[in-house]
A and B are shown apart, each in its own frame.
Chain A
Amino acid sequence: MTDVAMVNLTIEGRAVRVPSGTSILEAAKVAGVLVPHYCYHPGLPVAGVCRMCLVEVEKAPKLAPSCATTVAEGQVVHVHSPKSLEARKGVLEMLLINHPLDCPICDQAGECELQDYTYQEGRAEGRYRDPKRFNPVEDFGGDVMYVANRCILCTRCVRFMDDIAHDPVLAVAERGDRALIAKFDGEDLTHAWAGNVIDLCPVGALLSKDSLNKARAWELDRSASVCPHCSQGCNMIVETRDNQVIRLRPRPNDAVNKFFMCDHGRLNYRWMNRQDRVDSPLVRQHDVLAKADWEVALRVAGQLLGGKRAFVLASPNLSNEALFLLGKLVAKTGGSGAFRVVQGAEAPLPGVEDLALRADRAANVRGAELAGFVRSESPLSGMQGGEVLVVADEELAGVDATDVAKAGAIIVIGTTLPAWARHAATVVLPIANTVEEDGTFTNLRGRVQRFLQAKAAPGLARPSFLAIGDLLAEIGEGSGYWTASQTFDALAASHAEFAGLSYDALGLKGAPLAGAMAGASA
Chain B
Amino acid sequence: MGFPHTPHERETLVLSEYFGVREAISLAGYKQRGGYAALDKALRMEPAEIVQIVKDSGLRGRGGAGFPTGMKWSFMKPGDGKPHYLCCNADESEPGTFKDREIMRWTPHALVEGCAIAAYAIGAEVAYVYIRGEYTEALDRMNAACKEAYAAGILGANAMGTGKTVHVYVHKGAGAYICGEETALMNSLEGRRGNPRIKPPFPAVSGLFNQPTTINNVETLVAVNHILIKGAEWYRTFGRVDNPKSTGTKLFSVCGNIARPGNYEVAMGFPFKDFLYDLCGGPLPGREFKAIIPGGISVPIQTRAEAENSPMDYEGFVANGTMLGSGGVIVIDDAQNLVKQIARAARFFAHESCAQCTQCREGTAWTTKILERIVAGDGTHEDLDTLMEIADNMTGKTICVLSDSCATPVVSGLTKFRDDFEALIKRKKVHMVPAQVA
* Interface residues, chain A, with chain B CB atoms under 8 Å away: 46-52, 54, 62-63, 65, 68, 87, 90-91, 93-95, 97-98, 127-128, 130, 152-153, 171-172, 174-179
Contacts and interface: CB of A to CB of B under 8 A. Distances in A.
B361 A179 contact: yes
B358 A94 contact: yes
A93 B390 CA distance: 10
Given A95-B362, A128-B366, A51 B355 contact: no
Interface stretch (B135-143, B157-165, B244-252, B392-400): B392-400
A179 B362 CA distance: 10
A62 B355 contact: no
A73 B422 CA distance: 50
A50 B356 CA distance: 7
B365 A51 contact: no
A259 B393 CA distance: 33
A175 B358 contact: no
Most buried by B among A49, A91, A172, A179: A49
Contacts of A49: 356-358, 399
A51 B382 CA distance: 26
Contact of B359 (A94, A128, A130, A178): A94
Contacts of A51: 357-359, 397-398
Given A127-B386, A130-B366, A177 B355 contact: yes
Given A127-B382, A128-B366, A153-B361, 5 more contacts: A51-B397, A51-B398, A91-B359, A93-B393, A179-B361
Contacts of B198: 46, 48, 65, 68
B364 interface: yes
B350 interface: yes
B352 A176 contact: yes
Interface string B343-380: 00000001111111111011111100110010000000
Contact of B365 (A63, A90, A91, A177): A177
A207 to B, nearest CB: 22
Contact of B362 (A46, A54, A68, A94): A94
Contact of B396 (A46, A62, A98, A179): A62
Contacts of B358: 49-52, 91, 94-95, 152-153
Interface residues of B, number: 33
B366 A48 contact: no
Contact of B363 (A47, A65, A94): A94
B365 A62 contact: no
Nearest to B372: A130
Contacts of B361: 94, 153, 176-177, 179
Contacts, number: 89
B193 interface: yes
Contacts of B392: 90
Contacts of B366: 94, 97, 128, 130, 177
Contacts of A175: 176, 178, 351-355
Given A97-B366, A177-B362, A179-B361, A153 B397 contact: no
Interface string B320-355: 000000000000000000000000000000111111
Contacts of B350: 176-177
A127 to B, nearest CB: 5
Given A68-B198, A95-B358, A176-B351, A54 B397 contact: yes
A62 B397 contact: yes
A48 B399 contact: yes
23 contacts: A48-B399, A49-B356, A49-B358, A50-B357, A51-B359, A65-B198, A90-B359, A94-B361, A94-B362, A94-B366, A97-B362, A97-B366, A130-B366, A130-B369, A153-B355, A153-B356, A171-B193, A172-B355, A175-B178, A176-B353, A177-B353, A177-B355, A178-B355
A130 B387 CA distance: 14
B362 A98 contact: yes
A127 B381 CA distance: 13
A508 to B, nearest CB: 35
Contacts of A87: 393, 397
A176 B364 contact: yes
Interface of B: 176, 178, 193, 198, 350-359, 361-366, 369-370, 373, 382, 386, 389-390, 392-393, 396-399
A153 B364 CA distance: 16
A4 B315 CA distance: 45
Contacts of A174: 355
Most buried by A among B359, B363, B386, B396: B359
B411 to A, nearest CB: 15
Contacts of A127: 382, 386
A172 to B, nearest CB: 6
A98 B358 CA distance: 11
A48 B398 CA distance: 9
B6 to A, nearest CB: 42
Contacts of B369: 130
Contacts of A98: 362
Nearest to B347: A176
Given A68-B198, A172-B193, A177-B365, A63 B396 contact: yes
A152 B362 CA distance: 10
Contacts of B390: 90
Nearest to B363: A94
Nearest to B382: A127
A131 to B, nearest CB: 8
A458 B351 CA distance: 60
**Leading 9 A-B pairs by shortest Cβ distance:** A90-B393, A179-B355, A177-B365, A94-B362, A49-B356, A176-B353, A130-B369, A48-B198, A62-B396
A65 B351 CA distance: 25
Contacts of A130: 366, 369-370, 373
Nearest to A99: B362
Contacts of B355: 153, 172, 174-179
Contacts of B359: 51, 90-91, 94
Contacts of A171: 193
Nearest to A179: B355
Contacts of A63: 396-397
Most buried by B among A51, A130, A153: A51
B123 to A, nearest CB: 28
Contacts of B382: 127
Nearest to A130: B369
Nearest to B177: A175
A35 to B, nearest CB: 15
A51 B393 CA distance: 11
A270 to B, nearest CB: 40
Nearest to A47: B356
Most buried by A among B176, B357, B396: B357
Contacts of B353: 175-177
B395 to A, nearest CB: 9
Contacts of B373: 130
A98 to B, nearest CB: 7
A98 B193 CA distance: 24
Contacts of A179: 355, 361
A175 to B, nearest CB: 5
Contacts of B351: 175-176
Nearest to A61: B396
Contacts of B396: 62-63
A315 B263 CA distance: 83
Contacts of A97: 362, 366
Contacts of A47: 356
Contacts of B386: 127
Contacts of B193: 171-172
B432 to A, nearest CB: 20
Nearest to B198: A48
Contacts of A62: 396-397
Most buried by A among B364, B366, B396: B366
Most buried by B among A50, A90, A176: A176
A94 B386 CA distance: 12
A315 B418 CA distance: 79
Most buried by B among A54, A91, A174: A91
